[in-house]
Structure 1
């Protein structure tokens, strides 16, 4: 049953949909001849017959019998039945469908996608031609979906069906897979069973990640030896999603982002968690209805607790493999329903022996001096009894075996002696790793220890440049240290986007972090090098040649792909700088990322803009404090329509400037900028006279071209609001000319408002050209550019009298606003324009609903 949470809103929307059927030939009222004294059957009677309810029931749903008769709930089959009748026989659109469901308890996917709408319509029940009640046919649903989504642009498909990526499985650590045949078969059998979850549990180093990865690769037909020898068919999954928490705690947000990206829903990455988790779950449900999805969460015991709850509530068709430490087995067994648990212990004797020989052979193929080669040969040709003693001492733990072999080869220690020391060291695997890592640590070169310790800095596996910088090593020393870490089985290289990165096992990272915590002086020095690396990285991939002024020379104008790839580590550096009170680093990073955040995460820009302002105050940097308050935070608050907080920050920044040298060019710039933003706020509050007075004050203060550009845009906005369209064109064109002096800007509003002014002046060709400039990269426009582009084109169509096309384009802008940032300031304006267009169509033909 669907609960009606907004009964009046539901009735109003449903009524508009039902009334849209009155003009359809199948629903027109057919009057019988007067002599029959019958009024015939109304369109409401026909709808009621198809749903198996009375006409009065339909009227109560529509609110025609009074608000108190609107029901509190409606059966899903009947609700979607009436929705189906409306969508099949009218021109009601996606927005109507979404808004109607939002008045109920039914979760809504925004932006709507075809699979979700289809899944809803399959729940509909109405009378068929044979007199029985049933769901619409798949072919009929497909026709309705094609109508609803027939206006998608070719190069930017938002709010539509997208195919998920096949998988994002990480690179295997080895070219071969040894043992675990019975465990692999158990995983395969689970995949074929109804059970939704499988937990692979065991102590560190037992191979939980390896076996989960091997099973996943088997499902894409890339089996190693053990998978092949099973001689069984592995199931195929439409999509496999790997989420790993093996470096640092995996946040719920990161977890959802990974799933969203793999499902082709990258536009969700910067949404709020509450919105994101709902949409991600329904996206999973939509895709899983076609074929099963496999989700693998590695090291869930280190992840956010919210992830466990999300996994426990996954839709049918999604199977989940989890890995966790043995001591958390009971906790996870109780948390999840119907879970299959596979307990990993040490390798069986024959499997362990194969693994030992493989590891020794791997070292044999690597370059080693003669004395090391001699040890490799001795170890390779040692007796089976000696091999079995080493296996027994390490409890058959693959990671412990690898570390032991590497230790024997690189040290002057006979195998018998190591076995004895291991046996005497501890009776637990935890003690075993402590012993092995301790021995390895002693043998490591100082450079290797540095690399080992700073590996914990990175959220994502580092590349050579970032890792070497954090450790303070040059190229030669770095590669020598990396080779030693590989020799000791501490890291494994992997390629990401054609670039080499280095991944370490959890136990390796934890041991390095433990040692680093004992040397705070070294940790601080390393952290500073790490942050400085990302400051330089941002300079390389964001900084412009023009303008030369700091902060403004990071205005957007370059490909952001490199920044997006490294953003998790950059954000980690930003967090550390704030948490540890490193104000200088915090300010340097915020100066560089503010404009980047304006396109990807406005709330984060506001948050760190305010933190940077506080840091600048502590460092007695008033100009920077005012800059962060006025532009970084103040401007962004205006953009999300938080006008009161925006004004507070701007006023606070201007107050700081009151105590500074009035002739300082930077002070002048920020005063003009603050006044320009205050004027813009007044315009938003529909106070043009107040805005004009503020502008009169601002124009008398000298300012740089960057600030003049922004001031002229607001002057154009004032003329636009006063319907002085030719004057508005003059100011906007002047603003764009000034920006060309320092390399130009991707200022969306400059071209959008210029286009609007051209529309009002009746210059359609110039308006179309101006709106085209809104799209910086026409082949891959981003969401905010498309909002302004479609809204501008809608105004252009309305200006030429094509209100139907204008309404179609305007609704596309609204759909993107819903999927991007619902609080964006332009939202109210677009919604109001939508109402104007609907009223114009209503007056012109009496039936705007078909648009």
Structure 2
């Protein structure tokens, strides 16, 4: 479903499109009489009626979308197929262009590529569902290709329909982050070097240098210059920036960028949104080919910030980039990257301190910035006095800071906040030493001394986070809220330690690596505060997971975090949650790991099964240490044993399940929780025997557990195993009955999105020839079709491949099976389904 985030704007743009569609001959109002209504009246068919008929909805629904029935009747969401259906009708026959299409989608929750790319528009239009040849379906590939050609290649600029000025879009596609400052001074020599590299044959440029030298800033400003928005020195008439087709910015600054994320960012920016759910291998080739195609006429500029902290696979990808792609890298360490990128001619720019003339200009701009921010007359007067100092004195400060922009900014902030004269600061820096590390140690040390206690608390805990911290999470970790938090934040900003950025409408806070490292050093020396802060940080994310994962039913811990809710909020914080899990499992924090796995085990079944197994085993051992035998058994049987069977490690899975059952032997057999786990363990043993084709043992276990009392949650799983046995025995009607009964039982505790339940139900319907019910079952295993994860797609695509094969669409079935195998290949470990998919693929290949 597409959420309408700006309902009024959506209605306005849709009405514009439908009004244009009205002029098409197919939608001219026809006064064709319908049959008489019971009231004795007649009605005539309007263009709205015809559109509604093609979409399979009522005329009033379209009127509500257009806002004709009033703003309050504009819906909050529209089903994707219907939305793209009406968009297809408008785009195909009204003359509206890709800009209108983009602006319409920008009012919804659907991700938008701006400016629109042909492949992205085609991908969106392929999701349309409308009446075609007496059944609902998408436009054909040929029809979409014809529309795409008209939108992007087939008409001249003069022929394009006029659109309001508000719909104008930038000329160059880019995803550049916001600038860290309003002005950019200096680095003219380096800017010239980057400009020279951009027009040279060399594909890779490496900007290296000490922390704080401005590597990220100069890369960002060069990129903005290439897209036509230069600032400061980059806007000089002496500098010429070559035309660029596209600029893609990727930051690895926080050491959490893996190769898959890297490819996803490029795919998204090039409009290949359909790749986001594909396998790593498939994305590798398609992304490379997309870069080659996009850079055919003008170069694509790919910028990777802090390449020295990124996945090795990224460096290997860069070595094999196609001609026409220019890669700008930043890194602290030069030699490592040269070795990693062996075989490429690297254009290297070593970033040293600013030239005197540049540094003087930068120093003046920093002082002016603090003057503008200050509301204290005495402080303003001191800053004006600092600005009026002689050039010689300013140059002494610049030499003392080695012309390092970050060090200069910290020095100005230091003089502003601490009211220290510039000559005294220069003398103190001289005493501190001559290396940049000693300089930062001194500056951070003085800044630390003048920071208030609250600001110090925030500074120390900022290293906890894997991504820029939100107000809530950062304040919670530091133990600050309300006015105290914001006053401390303002002090850190005044000291030039942090910057803000807005993500999804909320403020987040980032800091330079040198700032994080210094805060972490103090944290390691303050064990009591670290312990308290880690506890608050942990509790914040425990509460966060309870808010966005926990369900009302079932009430039992662990089971009340079964999947069944929108996971976007959890995914947004996942890098920080993953960092918390890593910390909890590495030290003496076993209780925290247990609490995290009680909440995250089911989520990890969709995110990373090997991670579920790894942390599940650690949680099981931790539970035994705390004499929580029942909990340890639960982790071994369900968290670990089930996951091992899912990835095909059957014997290891059986061993863990039996270990969990042995723990239960020493516990009270009358305890309902113990009874449940015994039945669950037997069910999963039956699952093992079913996968090893020992059906008699499966039937024996199912008979043994038939009369044993268990909760609906466990009964649901028993029924699934019973259905699997029927399916394997060819008793398809009985299998359908078991699966449907299992799903009905699960409704008593809120329902479950069990992938195998709906997959196997769909297969049983396929075997019975009930194709519509089969497709419905496959659809139900996807929580969100547009954001399906890889595990869901594996089962969904394989199920649909079997359905297509039974319906006679053998070529499509073969293609879908190949896609399924490609997704399976991208997993760190295989899953048990792989062998079955391979057999099916081989059968299709041999037969057709």
- For the superposition of Structure 1 and Structure 2, which TM-score range results when normalised by the shorter chain? 0.7 to 0.9
* Partner residue of 1:388 out of 372, 375, 395: 395
- Structure 2 partner of 1:711: 718
1:305-351 CA-to-partner distances (Å, cap 9, x unmatched) read 665555445444332222233xx445555665422222323222332
In 2, Cα distance between the equivalents of 1:272 and 1:532?
Answer: 35
Aligned ranges 1:262-301 → 2 under 5 Å:
292-301=299-308
Between the aligned partners of 2:590 and 2:217, the Cα distance in structure 1 is 42
Check whether the contact 2:277–2:788 (CA below 8 A) recurs between aligned residues.
no
Change (3 A) 1:737 1:150: farther
* Residue in structure 2 matching 1:732, options 717, 720, 739: 739
Which residue number in structure 2 is paired with residue 177 of structure 1?
Answer: 184
Secondary structure at the residue paired with 1:222?
coil
Find the counterpart in structure 1 of residue 151 from structure 2. none
Q: Does 1:745 align with 2:749?
A: no
Partner of 1:465: 472
Query: 2:823 aligned to 819, 823, 835, which one?
Result: 819
Q: Which range is displaced more, 485-494 or 785-794? A: 785-794
Which of 379, 385, 390 is equivalent to 1:378? 385
Q: Residue 194 in 1 paired to residue 198 in 2?
A: no
Distance (Å, rounded) in 1 between the aligned partners of 2:395 and 2:410: 16
The answer to whether the aligner puts 1:586 opposite 2:593 as a matched pair is yes
SS at match of 1:205: coil
C-alpha contact (below 8 Å) 1:807/1:838 kept by paired residues: no
In structure 2, the partner of 1:497 is 504
After alignment, is 633-642 or 261-270 more displaced?
261-270
Mapped contact 1:590–1:609 kept (Cα < 8 A): yes
CA drift at 1:698: 2.0
Higher relative contact order (CA 8 A, sep 6+): 1
Q: How far apart, CA to CA, are the structure 2 residues paired with 1:152 and 1:782? A: 27
- Which residue of structure 2 aligns with residue 322 of structure 1? 329
8 Å contact from structure 2 (residues 498, 511) kept in 1: yes
Q: Which is further off, 439-448 or 504-513?
A: 504-513
Distance 2:834 2:142 in 1: 24
1:655 matched to 2:665: no
Displacement of 1:812 in angstroms is 0.8
Match of 1:809 in 2: 813
Partner of 2:64: none
Q: What are the residue-to-residue correspondences of 1:100-111 with 2, within 5 Å?
A: none
Q: Distance in 1 between matches of 2:732 and 2:254?
A: 57
Give the deviation of 1:304 after TM superposition: 5.6
Q: Counterparts in 2 of 1:158-557, with a 5 A limit?
A: 166-248=173-255, 292-303=299-310, 308=315, 311-325=318-332, 328-329=333-334, 332=337, 336=342, 337-557=344-564
Deviations 1:13-45 (A, max 9, x none): xxxxxxxxxxxxxxxxxxxxxxxxxxxxxxxxx
Q: Distance in 2 between matches of 1:656 and 1:500?
A: 48
Q: Aligned in 2, Cα 1:806/1:733: closer, same or farther, shift over 3 Å?
A: farther
Uncovered stretches (5+) of structure 1, i.e. residues with no partner: 1-113, 116-147, 154-164, 843-847
Q: Does the 8 A contact of 2:279 with 2:822 survive in 1?
A: no
Structure 2: distance between partners of 1:238 and 1:614? 54
More deviation, 266-275/554-563: 266-275
Q: Distance in 1 between matches of 2:626 and 2:814?
A: 48
Q: TM-score, normalised by structure 1?
A: 0.74
Report how far residue 434 of structure 1 moved. Answer: 1.4
Structure-2 change in CA distance of 1:205 and 1:786 (3 Å): closer
- 1-side partners of 2:253 and 2:543: how far apart? 27
> Does the 8 Å CA contact 1:755/1:771 hold for their aligned counterparts?
yes
In 1: Cα distance, 2:751 partner to 2:144 partner: 31
697, 708, 722: which one aligns with 2:729: 722
1:676, 1:695 within 8 Å by CA — same for their partners in 2? yes
8 Å contact from structure 2 (residues 277, 790) kept in 1: no
Contact 1:729–1:758 under 8 Å retained in 2: yes
Question: 1:345 & 1:761 partners in 2: Cα distance?
Answer: 73
Change (3 A) 1:512 1:248: farther
Contact 2:794 2:824 in 1 (8 A): no
Residues 150 and 725 from structure 1, CA distance in 2 versus in 1: closer, same or farther, beyond 3 angstroms? farther
* 1:151–1:585 CA distance, 2 compared to 1 (3 A): farther
Question: Given that residues 268 and 819 in structure 1 are in contact (C-alpha distance below 8 angstroms), is that contact kept between their aligned partners in structure 2?
Answer: no
**Quick one: distance in 2 between partners of 1:261 and 1:521?**
45
Work out which of the residue numbers 612, 624, 646 in structure 2 matches 1:617: 624
Measured after TM superposition, the shift of residue 813 of structure 1 is 3.9
- 1:178 deviation in Å? 0.8
Conservation of the 8 A alpha-carbon contact between 1:795 and 1:806: no
Mapped partners of 2:694, 2:497: distance in 1: 66
How far apart, in 2, do the equivalents of 1:558 and 1:510 lie? Answer: 38
Q: Which whole-Å deviations, capped at 9, do the CAs of 1:382-417 have from their partners, x for residues lacking one?
A: 344433333333232211111111111112322222
Q: Partners in 2 of 1:812 and 1:271 — Cα distance? A: 12
Change (3 A) 1:691 1:286: farther
Larger Rg: 1
Residue 107 (structure 1) aligns with? none
The count of residues paired between Structure 1 and Structure 2 equals 681
Uncovered stretches (5+) of structure 2, i.e. residues with no partner: 1-117, 120-139, 146-171
Q: Distance in 2 between matches of 1:189 and 1:572?
A: 41
| SS at structure 1 position matched to 2:329 | strand
Q: Tell me: CA distance 1:259–1:758, structure 2 relative to 1, closer, same or farther (3 Å).
A: closer
Distance across 2 between alignment mates of 1:208 and 1:788? 45
Q: Is the Cα contact below 8 Å between 1:764 and 1:796 reproduced in 2?
A: yes
Correspondence for 2:55: none
CA-atom RMSD in angstroms: 3.2
Inter-partner Cα distance in structure 1 for 2:601 and 2:559: 10
Q: Which residue of 2 aligns with 1:695?
A: 702
Tell me how far apart the structure 2 counterparts of residues 334 and 299 of structure 1 sit (CA, whole Å).
16
- Compared with structure 1, are the counterparts of its residues 614 and 270 closer, same or farther at alpha carbon in structure 2 (3 Å cutoff)? farther
| Contact 2:477/2:536 (8 A) holds in 1 | yes
* Distance change in 2, residues 1:345/1:765 (3 Å): closer
Select which of 630, 633, 640 maps to 2:640. Answer: 633
Instruction: Give the SS at the match of 1:624.
Output: helix
The normalised TM-score by structure 2 is 0.74
Does the residue aligned with 1:176 lie in a helix, a strand or coil? coil
Change (3 A) 1:591 1:282: farther
Q: CA deviation at 1:378?
A: 2.1
Residues 256 and 575, structure 2, Cα contact 8 Å, conserved in 1 = no
Displacement of 1:702 after TM fit? 1.4
Aligned to 1:577: 584
- After TM superposition, the structure 1 stretch with the greater mean CA deviation from structure 2, 403-412 or 523-532, is 523-532
